[in-house]
Amino acid sequence: MGRKGIPKDDFMNNITVAHGCSFTRYGWPCWPKFVPWFNGGIIMKNKGRSGSGNETISRAAINSAMKHQSINHIYIMWTGTDRYEVITKDKDADEVKGRATYYVWDEDFQWSTWYGGHPDKDKHEYYRRHFWDEEHQYYRTLEHIHRTQMFLDKKQIPYTMMVFNKHVLRDNFYSGSERALYNTIDWSKFLFYKDRKGLWEFAEDNYKEYYIPGESHPPPIAHYHWVKDIMFRSDILCPGDEYDKLKNYFRGKDGRS
């Protein structure tokens, strides 16, 4: 065992870590896949989870900083403020059976996180009606960002933050305290598309023709260009055959035929 009971196998050296929601890890290649294309030699560990809320993302990023001995960089893409998490001690394999929510057991925390809210519709609606508050959620998102920055700064781990869409943040503050908290965040650590926009708007504006009809998640080519044009601002294109694969990803069974 390593420090504080974490298995030694988890002490990977010189890794880069990505955290976020389904805009970070989904059913096809997302932006963490392409970061090594522009920063050769790194080992990318994608810890994104579909349905993650910002509290979950913050905790996971902090845990990565504690867990791994040597991290070159942490990339975090913050998600919608409306999401919340449910923690249980369920440990058996989750059988999704058509649910939008699912749980994953985490050995580090010794608990399961339900992603996407409470699996019981009645309990979810009760929580949203009696405990969820939009102003509170925006405030808490700033708290999660600030706490994560403070921890990573203390650990001296380089990091970059992004948003999945323009609604993650706002500048119409509900209170003076919210404005003050907003002003404590180091916004130089963020990358945006245009005016505080995210991957959603970038993909919709530039790569809508490549979407699967009815799908809201950006296609691989949009993720590639997010890394190339927004994250690294590179003029270098990948080889033509690889670019063709990205453009035609959904045309074949696996996107490569």
| 175-201 pLDDT tens trace | 999 999 999 999 999 999 999 999 999
pLDDT the model gives residue 69:
87
Distance CA 166, CA 200 (A): 8
pLDDT the model gives residue 13:
62
Residues 6+ positions from 134 with CB-CB distance below 8 Å = 81, 82
Q: What single letter denotes the amino acid at residue 9?
A: D
pLDDT the model gives residue 12:
52
pLDDT the model gives residue 244:
96
The 86-88 sheet, strands edge to edge? 86-88, 111-115, 102-106
Q: pLDDT digits over 212-221, tens only?
A: 999 999 999 9
pLDDT the model gives residue 253:
45
Distance CA 67, CA 4 (A): 9
Domains along the chain with CATH numbers: 3-83+133-247 (3.40.50.1110), 85-131 (no CATH)
DSSP 3-state of 4? helix
The C-alpha angle 70, 75, 77, rounded to 5 degrees, equals 150
pLDDT the model gives residue 14:
84
Buried b or exposed e, range 162-191, using 16+ CB within 10 angstroms: bbbbbbbbeeebeeeebeebbeebeeebbb
pLDDT the model gives residue 58:
98
Distance CA 180, CA 202 (A): 29
Q: Is 195 exposed, middle or buried (0-12, 13-18, 19+ CB in 10 A)?
A: exposed
pLDDT the model gives residue 116:
87
**Residue ranges in the chain modelled with pLDDT below 50:** 1-11, 253-257
Could you please report the per-residue DSSP string of 220-233?
HHHHHHIIIIIIS-
